[in-house]
Chain A
Amino acid sequence: ILNVEQSPQSLHVQEGDSTNFTCSFPSSNFYALHWYRWETAKSPEALFVMTLNGDEKKKGRISATLNTKEGYSYLYIKGSQPEDSATYLCAQTGSARQLTFGSGTQLTVLP
């Protein structure tokens, strides 16, 4: 059973601030790390899938890095906007090829 942890649990930032949060996961039997964005009353939307140590992915103002040796991934948002308010979930795929989700970081961007 994989134990994926995210921190912080929730975060409030001002519009224009840059922010980042962490996903920690077991480094053994690592296969892939997924980031999802989940807005209230909508379905989780895939942001990134990363597999290689040192991977860095970017989508607009959002980017993510991966360290498989120490078991963590960071998600960065540059110049946060109110529409970035959502819960950001990470999930690890292990040898069983199933997603194990963290509990998420709930981001609120204040105008």
Chain B
Amino acid sequence: DAGVIQSPRHEVTEMGQEVTLRCKPISGHDYLFWYRQTMMRGLELLIYFNNNVPIDDSGMPEDRFSAKMPNASFSTLKIQPSEPRDSAVYFCASSLDGSGTDTQYFGPGTRLTVL
């Protein structure tokens, strides 16, 4: 298996633009997670899905952020409009089940820079 795939790997955009990050989880994994890594807050959970349904989006910073999972093999995280403080590395992870003891497998991340 190719593991969790994310695109793009790097994104540079200007303030106010829409940004869409993409993720393909490991085939057969029922759970998909979006995380954001910043120097100030470390690795924080934004939202997660179970069988394509959003379960907990309490970590989404504000209404400018939205996430979708239209099918089992694809998810997007959208920021509209983007702001400089959104600059961070965004990780997608997937796991077989949400038992809490199950390993989450991380993608390579998307490094977002908002100018």
Q: Using a CB–CB distance below 8 Å, which chain A residues touch chain B?
A: 31-32, 34, 42-46, 49, 51, 89, 93, 96-104
B106 interfacial by beta-carbon distance below 8 Å: yes
Chain A-chain B contacts (Cβ-Cβ < 8 Å), number? 45
B71 within 8 A of A: no
Interface residue tally for chain B (C-beta within 8 Å): 21
Q: Which residues of A contact B54 (CB under 8 A)?
A: none
Are B105 and A32 neighbours in the complex by a CB distance under 8 Å? no
Interface residues of B (CB under 8 A from A): 4, 33, 42-45, 48, 56, 91, 98-109
Identity of the chain B residue whose Cβ is nearest the Cβ of A43 in the assembled complex: B106
Residue from B43, B106, B107 whose CB has the most chain A CB atoms within 10 Å: B43
Bound complex: CA of A103 vs CA of B102, how far in Å? 21
Given A43-B108, A44-B106, A49 and B45 touching (CB < 8 A)?
A: no
Q: CA–CA, A44 to B4, complex, Å?
A: 12
Which residues of chain B have C-beta atoms less than 8 A from A42's C-beta? 108
10 smallest CB-CB distances across A and B, nearest first, come from A93-B100, A43-B106, A97-B100, A101-B43, A46-B103, A103-B42, A31-B100, A32-B101, A44-B106, A43-B108
The answer on a CB contact under 8 Å between B42 and A101 is: yes
How near does chain A come to B33, taking the closest CB pair, in angstroms? Answer: 8
Contact of B101 with A98 in the complex, beta carbons under 8 Å? no
CB < 8 Å: which of B56, B103, B105 contacts A98? B56
